[in-house]
Structure 1
Amino acid sequence: MANPFTFLQEVRSEAAKVTWPTRRETMITTGMVAVMVFFAALFFLSVDQIIRLGVRFILSFGG
Structure 2
Amino acid sequence: MRASRMAEKTKKTSPAEFVNQVRAETSKVVWPTREETVRTAIFVFIMVIILSLFFLGIDSIFGAVVSWLLTLG
How high is the TM-score relative to the length of structure 1?
0.92
Q: Please tell me whether residue 42 in structure 1 is matched to residue 53 in structure 2.
A: yes
Match for 1:2: what amino acid? T
Task: Name stretches of at least 5 consecutive residues in structure 2 with no aligned partner.
Answer: 1-11
Deviations 1:14-43 (A, max 9, x none): 100000001110000000000000011001
CA radius of gyration, larger in: 2
* Structure 1: runs of 5+ lacking an equivalent: none
Q: Map 1:20-39 onto structure 2 (within 5 A).
A: 20-39=31-50
Percent identity of equivalent pairs: 42
The residue aligned with 2:5 is none
- After superposing on structure 2, the runs of 4+ consecutive aligned residues of structure 1 that deviate more than 4 Å are none
Residue-pair matches, total: 62
From the two aligned structures, give the one with the greater helix fraction: 2
